[in-house]
Structure 1
Amino acid sequence: MRRGFTLIEVLVVLIILGLIAALIVPRITSRVDEARVNTTKLQLKALKNALEQFKLDNGFYPTTEQGLKALVEKPTVPPEPKNWKQYMEKLPKDGWGNDFIYVSPAGSRPYELKSAGPDGVEGTEDDISVWDL
């Protein structure tokens, strides 16, 4: 005698699997978002340390025109640093794969260094600034 699953048994199993997935998926995706934010904060700290070392060696922070690229390649745009060293092997990206935003000078601070955050749009409330860490 062949026994199989009835349609109701299959539907009950599918409903149970759907409920389990509905509970687990949000937890996993929030962990991914949290990991991206933490990665971005770590990258900002590394960039800040490299910028501080650049200033110690050269007496100024890279200008906006020189940008963060001045940490991996000697700037040819004035002011040219006299004691330049390679401060990073390559420029990191934020947790969402975007370039960091760097402006120097920036109002009351020597520079602004931030990520545009998950939405990739600068100036929104999800931006992550090095000064908020």
Structure 2
Amino acid sequence: MNMSNKQTGFTLIEMMIVVAIMAIMSAMLAPTLFNQVSKAEKARTASDIRQIESALKFYRLDNYRYPTQSQGLQALIAAPSGSEATSWNGPYLETVPKDAWKQDYRYANPGTHGKPVEVYTLGADNTQGGTDSNADWGSWNVNE
């Protein structure tokens, strides 16, 4: 009687080597993945800002001026009260979109970067300044 007591399977060392290889590969791919997400956020932000700017231009064509700071971007959706928008012919947008980080876009009239009005977002951290996804993105730099 020849009884074989040999077991098949992976040893603990082999499993640890496989896990280590997977961790190294993940670490190498993570920056590429995060970079693609950041590019998508920037592209969406640029598209939204251009769309809002276009709506602001149509508003200006009808009303001979941009919405005031107090009227804000809501003037693109519903007619502002008062005599400042008597030729309002909107809505110029169905809704004002949220930025890629689920924050409201901001509006400045007058603009501070050489444009009459500006639409911008403060980025992922929702505070002024920052870099990468925390950077401020606005009508003055959407093409960068």
Tell me if TM exceeds 0.5.
yes
CA-based RMSD of the aligned residues comes to 1.7
**What amino acid maps onto 1:41 in structure 2?**
A
Structure 1: which 5+ residue stretches go unaligned?
none
Matches within 5 A, 1:42-61: 42-61=47-66
Q: Using the alignment, how far apart are the partners of 1:26 and 1:57 within structure 2?
A: 47
Mark the structure with the bigger radius of gyration: 2
Q: CA shift at 1:82, angstroms?
A: 1.8
**What amino acid maps onto 1:103 in structure 2?**
A
**Structure 1 counterpart of 2:123:** 117
Runs of 4+ in 1 over 4 A off after TM superposition: none
Question: Does residue 130 in structure 1 map to residue 130 in structure 2?
Answer: no
The alignment-based identity, stated in percent, is 32
Q: Using the alignment, how far apart are the partners of 1:72 and 1:83 within structure 2?
A: 10
**Structure 2 counterpart of 1:74:** 79
Judge conservation of contact 1:66–1:77 (CA < 8 Å) in 2.
no
**What amino acid maps onto 2:98 in structure 1?**
K
Matches within 5 A, 1:84-103: 84-103=89-108
Q: CA shift at 1:124, angstroms?
A: 4.5
Q: Using the alignment, how far apart are the partners of 1:60 and 1:66 within structure 2?
A: 12
TM-score, normalisation: structure 2: 0.84
Structure 2: which 5+ residue stretches go unaligned?
1-5
TM-score, normalisation: structure 1: 0.91
Indicate how the Cα distance of structure 1 residues 77 and 14 shifts in structure 2: closer, same or farther if over 3 A, else same: farther
Q: Using the alignment, how far apart are the partners of 2:127 and 2:56 within structure 1?
A: 24
